[in-house]
């Protein structure tokens, strides 16, 4: 039975069993037709099928008159940032996130640098399902260019954030155990941590797409990292999923602190620097409300889903979400 999942934010499936070149072409052509041409940023994770899918995506975008800008193997947030800074009409990320190696997917990004919302996604799906694809004649096809500075742009933007004590971090010389599951984090996090003056104990940081364990960064998949933190006497451990948009933290005791504590720590840090509105979804820990109260800050809850949190953050100018 074919395994293909279609939603307003993209499609994912098993290579050769649902997620086929024809399916990829159909939905990419629909996305390119929906945005009406213009610049589209394309990035991918390290999956072994990523290059194959990338070729299909680039050619299809060119066929519907788009200017395809390839940024290569990069984390998902780097593509989102590049869409904004390059003033693109949208973006496509080729990644199945934390799904197993046989899966791949397309994540569709709007010109705001966010995943498509329900209205936008449904518009793309309607074009795909009705076959209203805007393939162009020979003299109106689009172009393909490479942009090699997406990671550097993203790193520099993070290092410029006003609340980060760069020199203090660099003086501390943290020992960091790092598990990138051989995914896109491998081309970003080691260099980034080195710029922060950290001593890195690398685990699975070869960007070859061969996941050494189940790639979702949840406690049951972090045994190697937890052991390494303890035996190497690291100050902290970090793990990410294949497209590096999810982070797990292991404390100096070798125990995962969990996503709820991770968010609580981030909220406390940001509100200590700049009190303001916090946006979270309906299932987020109530600890956020307690922390916000300490700083006389408001918490707004949205429906579950990254796009709902992100849109509300922009609307209310939240300090964190």
260-316 architecture in CATH?
3-Layer(aba) Sandwich (3.40)
- Is the distance from CB of 32 to CB of 40 less than 8 angstroms? yes
The partner residues of 177 in beta bridges, in order of sequence, read 201, 237
Could you tell me which residues are beta bridge partners of residue 70? 42, 146
Task: Compute the residue count for the chain.
Answer: 321
Give catalytic status of residue 9 as yes or no: no
With a cut of 50, which residues of the chain have pLDDT below it? none
CB 232 within 8 A of CB 177: yes
Burial readout 182-197 (b: 16 or more C-beta within 10 A, e: otherwise)? bbbbbbbbbeebeebe
Q: What is the pTM of this model?
A: 0.94
CB contact at 8 A, 152 and 78: no
pLDDT of residue 237: 98
**Among 13, 30, 7, 31, residue whose Cα is nearest residue 83:** 31
Class of domain 4-154: alpha beta
Choose which CATH entry (3.10.310.30, 3.40.50.720, 3.40.120.10, 3.30.450.20) describes domain 162-256. 3.40.120.10
Which long-range contacts does 201-205 make (Cβ < 8 Å, 24+ apart)? 201/175, 201/176, 201/177, 201/228, 201/232, 201/234, 202/178, 203/177, 203/178, 203/179, 203/228, 204/179, 204/180, 205/178, 205/179, 205/180
Q: What distance lies between CA 228 and its chain's CA centroid?
A: 26
Alpha helices in the chain (DSSP H): 21-35, 50-63, 76-85, 118-130, 150-159, 166-172, 189-195, 223-231, 258-273, 287-294, 306-316
Q: Do domains 4-154 and 162-256 have the same CATH topology?
A: yes
The contacts of residue 175 (CB under 8 Å, 6+ apart) are 198, 199, 201, 232, 233, 234, 235
**For residue 4, what pLDDT is reported?**
79
Instruction: Let me know: does 234 contact 177? Beta carbons within 8 Å.
Output: yes
Predicted confidence at residue 10, as pLDDT, reads: 83
Find where tokens 């916000």 sit: 292
Instruction: Report, in this order, helix, strand and coil percent for the chain, each rounded to 5.
Output: 40, 25, 35
Return d(Cα 115, Cα 52) in angstroms, integer: 23
How many CB atoms sit inside 10 A of residue 207's CB?
Answer: 16
- Domain ranges for the chain, please list them: 4-154, 162-256, 260-316
pLDDT at 2: 64
Out of 7, 9, 33, 97, the active site residue is 97
Per-residue model confidence (pLDDT) at position 247: 96
């Amino acid at each position: 039975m074919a395994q293909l999942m279609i939603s307003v934010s993209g499609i994912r499936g098993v290579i050769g069993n649902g997620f086929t070149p024809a399916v990829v072409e159909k939905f990419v052509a629909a996305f390119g037709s929906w945005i009406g041409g213009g610049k589209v940023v394309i990035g991918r994770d390290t999956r072994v099928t990523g290059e194959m899918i990338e070729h299909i995506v680039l050619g299809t975008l060119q066929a519907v008159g788009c200017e395809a800008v390839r940024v290569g193997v990069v984390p998902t947030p780097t593509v989102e940032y590049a869409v904004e800074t390059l003033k693109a009409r949208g973006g496509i990320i080729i990644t199945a996130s934390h799904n197993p190696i046989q899966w791949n997917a397309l994540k569709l990004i709007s010109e705001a640098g966010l995943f498509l919302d329900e209205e936008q996604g449904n518009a793309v799906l309607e074009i795909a399902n009705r076959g209203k694809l805007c393939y162009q004649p020979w003299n109106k096809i689009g172009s393909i260019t490479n942009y090699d500075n997406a990671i550097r742009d993203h790193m520099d933007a993070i290092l410029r954030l006003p609340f980060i004590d760069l020199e203090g971090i660099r003086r501390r010389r943290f020992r960091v155990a790092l598990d990138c599951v051989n995914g896109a984090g491998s081309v970003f996090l080691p260099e980034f941590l080195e710029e922060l003056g950290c001593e890195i104990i690398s685990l699975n940081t070869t960007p070859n797409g061969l996941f050494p364990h189940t790639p979702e960064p949840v406690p049951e998949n972090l045994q190697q990292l937890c052991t390494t933190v303890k035996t190497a006497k690291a100050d902290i451990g970090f793990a990410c999923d294949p497209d590096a948009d999810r982070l797990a933290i292991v404390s100096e005791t070798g125990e995962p602190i969990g996503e709820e504590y991770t968010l609580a720590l981030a909220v406390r840090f940001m509100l200590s620097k700049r009190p303001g509105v916090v946006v979270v979804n309906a299932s987020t820990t109530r600890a956020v409300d307690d922390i916000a109260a300490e700083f006389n800050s408001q918490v707004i809850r949205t429906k579950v889903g990254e796009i709902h949190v992100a849109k509300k953050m922009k609307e209310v100018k939240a300090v964190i979400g």
